[in-house]
């Protein structure tokens, strides 16, 4: 167990809807990274939050947004859902950025967009 | 060109075999390198870091060639439990803000 928990584990939405995914970091970790993993692909970097501020962003449109709270938990929000947004969304926590390379992943939230 | 590219899979090998995975990365400013393992329908987990001098952890050996921007992972004496997807991971971006994952190579070890 990594100590990183994500909710919900599974959800189904329709095109155009909005979704919020939640992540609780491992105790003591101040950095949260979000990844999207489509079937048969590696995880794609969405963005990272360090001490409540966005600290890096991948090639995702602005309708993907996030927050990190003072307790270092985090949310990923996706607006105007598209079919291609169907994927496993992984949250990973670490201490002071990913410098050591060890990200601790949660089990993910599996989103299906119909 | 993708930032991190890996050998296409799957690799199907018998128990006891030696198997090698290769990976190339495009950003010459990349600072650190890793192999992660992902079991079916599970989250990725760090397998090992990759150092310029090469490093070994039991049956696993990782190598880095900065000049060729190439990373490798060698697994000796494969076990059934080694069956998984192996992800090549590179730390890039300003102040190392992101770990970028390859697509992964699937290994299936059979008895």
Which residues lie closer than 8 Å to A61 by C-beta, 6 or more apart? Answer: none
Q: How far does B111 lie from chain A, in Å, by closest CA?
A: 25
Res A35 pLDDT > 60: yes
Out of A33, A100, A105, the one facing B43 most closely (by C-beta) is A105
Q: Which residues of B touch A43 (CB under 8 A)?
A: 44, 87, 101
Cβ within 8 Å, pair B99-A42: no
Residue B8 has pLDDT above 80, yes or no: no
Q: Which residues of A touch B (CB under 8 A)?
A: 2, 33, 35, 40-45, 48, 55-56, 58, 90, 97-103, 105-108
What mean pLDDT comes out for the span A74-96? 95
Residue A75's CB is within 10 A of a number of other CB atoms, namely 17
Q: With an 8 Å Cβ cutoff, is B55 touching chain A?
A: no
What mean pLDDT comes out for the span B79-85?
97
Is residue A97's pLDDT more than 80? no
Least confident window among A8-22, A41-55, A73-87: A41-55
Nearest CA in chain A to B4: A42
Q: Do A56 and B99 touch (CB under 8 A)?
A: no
**Which pLDDT score, from 0 to 100, does residue A74 have?**
96
Residue A2, pLDDT above cutoff 80: no
Chosen from B5, B26, B99, B104 to mutate, greatest number of chain A CBs within 10 A = B99
A43 closest CA partner among A91, A112, A95: A91
Q: What is the pLDDT of residue B7?
A: 85
Query: Which residues is B89 bridged to in the sheet?
Result: B34, B101
Query: Per the structure block, which two tokens stand in for A90?
Result: 């992984």
Distance CA B64, CA A62 (A): 35
> Which of A58, A100, A108 lies closest to B98 in CB terms?
A58
| Mean pLDDT across chain B | 91
- The whole-number average pLDDT for the span B48-55 is 88
Q: Is the pLDDT of residue A1 over 70?
A: no
Mean pLDDT of A30-53: 92
pLDDT, average across residues A15-24? 98
User: What pLDDT shows up at residue B52?
Assistant: 84
Q: Read off the pLDDT band of B63 (50, 70, 90).
A: very high
pLDDT of A79 > 70? The answer is yes
Instruction: Return the pLDDT at B62.
Output: 96
For residue A13, give every residue at least 6 positions away whose Cβ sits within 8 Å of its Cβ, in sequence order, or none. A19, A81, A111, A112, A113, A114
Q: What does the alpha-carbon distance between residue B74 and residue B53 come to, in Å, rounded to a whole number?
A: 15
E-only strand ranges, A3-113: 5-7, 10-13, 19-24, 31-37, 44-50, 53-57, 64-68, 74-78, 87-94, 104-105, 109-113
Size of interface A-B (CB pairs under 8 A): 62
- pLDDT the model gives residue A29: 87
Give the pLDDT score at B93: 60
């Amino acid at each position: 167990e990594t100590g990183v928990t994500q909710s919900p584990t599974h959800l189904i939405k329709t095109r155009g809807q909005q979704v919020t995914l939640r992540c609780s970091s491992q105790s003591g970790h101040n950095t949260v990274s979000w990844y999207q993993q489509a079937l048969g692909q590696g995880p794609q970097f969405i963005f990272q939050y360090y001490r409540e501020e966005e600290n890096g962003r991948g090639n995702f449109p602005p309708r993907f947004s996030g927050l990190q709270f003072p307790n270092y938990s985090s949310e990923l929000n996706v607006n105007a859902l598209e079919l291609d947004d169907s994927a496993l969304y992984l949250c990973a926590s670490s201490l002071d950025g990913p410098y050591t390379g060890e990200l601790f992943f949660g089990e993910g939230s599996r989103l299906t967009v119909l | 060109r993708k930032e991190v590219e890996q050998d296409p899979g799957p690799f199907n090998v018998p128990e006891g075999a030696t198997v090698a995975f290769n990976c190339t990365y495009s950003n010459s400013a990349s600072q650190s390198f890793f192999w992660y393992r992902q079991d079916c329908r599970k989250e990725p987990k760090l397998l090992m870091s990759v150092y310029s001098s090469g490093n070994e952890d039991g049956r696993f050996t990782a190598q880095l060639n900065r000049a060729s921007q190439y990373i490798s992972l060698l697994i000796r004496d494969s076990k059934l439990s080694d069956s998984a997807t192996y992800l090549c991971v590179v730390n890039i971006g300003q102040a190392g803000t992101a770990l970028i994952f390859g697509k992964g190579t699937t290994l299936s070890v059979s008895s």
